[in-house]
Amino acid sequence: MQQYFTDRELKKDDIFELDQDSLYHLIKVLRKDSSYRFRVADCQGKIYFCHLINNYQCKVDEYCDENNELDTDITCIISLIKSDKLELCIQKTVELGVKRIVPFAARRSVVKFNDEKKLIRLKKIVKEAAEQSHRNIVPEVCNVAKLKDLEKYKSSSNYICYESEKNIVDIPASDSITYIIGPEGGFEDNEYEQICSMGFESVSLGNRILRAETAAIYMTSIIVGKCQ
C-alpha cells in the first residue's frame, strides 16, 4: 500500500491536503481515485489510512497502530562519494532503518558538494525511501560535515569502519549508534587517527575490501540484526 508523509498532525475524520508531489504521484502516476486507501504518516510519526475525496483533498479513515522504527537510532556518516553511489547508499540505509544521514567531506573525497540542489535531491531520495519502506518518520539529512564537526553526531556507541582493522565488527545492543564510512580512496592515516581519538572504535567488516556504499549497507544490516 502506498504511503506518504505530511507535516501536519492528523486525527480520524480530518480532511487535509497532501503536498503537490504526493498528490501528483497518487492521481497522475498511480491513477488512483477515491476508492483507493493509502497510508499517511503525520508529523508525530503516527500512520493513518486515508482516501481521496477530490483531486486535492483526502480524508482520514482510521489510525493504523504500527511502529516500524528501530529501537536503536542509527546515524550513518558517509563520506562524499560519486553521487549515484551516494544516492544508492542513502536509499538502502534508509530502507533498512537509519535515522540520520551525515554526508562527510573526507580528505580523499574527490566529489565536492557545495550545491544546495544536491542536498535537496538527497532529501527527496530519503523521503521516497521512507515512503517505500513504510517508515513512521522521514530520516534527517544533515549538512555536509567536516572532520571537526563529527563530534556532534556521536551516539552512545560509535564506530569507524576501517579496511585495515583486524578487529571484526561485533556490536552490542545500544540505544543509539553512529558509524563512519570512508571515501573511495579510504581515510588518510592522520584523519583516521583523529576520528579514533574522538571515541570512534575501529572495526573491520571482513577481509574483503568493500565499496563504500556496500560497506554502509552491510554495517547497517549488522546493526539492524543486533538491535531490531
Closer CB to ligand SAM, 22 or 91, in the complex: 91
Q: What would the x/- binding string for ligand SAM be over residues 87 to 116, using CB under 6 A?
A: ------------------------------
Q: Are 164 and 209 in contact (CB under 8 A)?
A: no
Closer CB to ligand SAM, 43 or 209, in the complex: 209
Q: How far is the CB of 164 from ligand SAM (least distance, A)?
A: 8
Closer CB to ligand SAM, 52 or 216, in the complex: 216
SS (H, E, C) the chain: CCEEECCCCCCCCCEECCCHHHHHHHHHHCCCCCCCEEEEECCCCCEEEEEECCCCCEEEEEEECCCCCCCCEEEEEEECCCHHHHHHHHHHHHHHCCCEEEEECCCCCCCCCCCHHHHHHHHHHHHHHHHHCCCCCCCEECCCECHHHHHHHCCCEEEEECCCCCCECCCCCCCEEEEEECCCCCCCHHHHHHHHHCCCEEEECCCCCCCHHHHHHHHHHHHHHHHC
Site for ligand SAM in 160-219 (CB under 6 A): 161-163, 181-182, 184-187, 204-206, 208-212, 215
Q: What would the x/- binding string for ligand SAM be over residues 19 to 48, using CB under 6 A?
A: ------------------------------
Q: How far is the CB of 161 from ligand SAM (least distance, A)?
A: 3
Q: How far is the CB of 163 from ligand SAM (least distance, A)?
A: 4
Closer CB to ligand SAM, 45 or 186, in the complex: 186
Residue nearest to ligand SAM (CB): 182
- Give the binding site for ligand SAM (CB under 6 A): 161-163, 181-182, 184-187, 204-206, 208-212, 215
